[in-house]
Amino acid sequence: MAILPYREIIGSIGGGCAEADVILKAMDIIRDGGYFLLNIDLSDTAEEDGMVCGGTMKVLIEAV
C-alpha cells in the first residue's frame, strides 16, 4: 500500500479500522519523515465491530 502526500492511496491492506489507523500514522510519517512499526490487534473486537476477520498484524510505515 502506498500513501502519497495528498492522501492518494494505491493498493490496500484490507480496509476498515486498521487501514484508517495506518493512513493517519502515514500522514505523520510523510510530514516528519522516518518510520514506525504499527501493531494492530483486532482479535478481541473484530466481531463486536462487525468485521469478518480478526487477528493481528504489524505494519511498517516508512517514508521513501
What residue numbers bound the domain in which 30 lies? 2-62
pLDDT at 16: 82
C-alpha of 33 from chain center: 16
pLDDT tens digits, the chain, 64 residues: what are they? 999 998 899 999 887 888 999 999 999 999 999 999 999 887 776 556 665 667 889 999 999 8
For residues 28 and 46, what is the distance between their CA atoms, to the nearest angstrom?
A: 26
Rounded to a whole number of angstroms, the CA Rg of the chain reads 12
Say how many domains are in the chain: 1
pLDDT at 41: 85
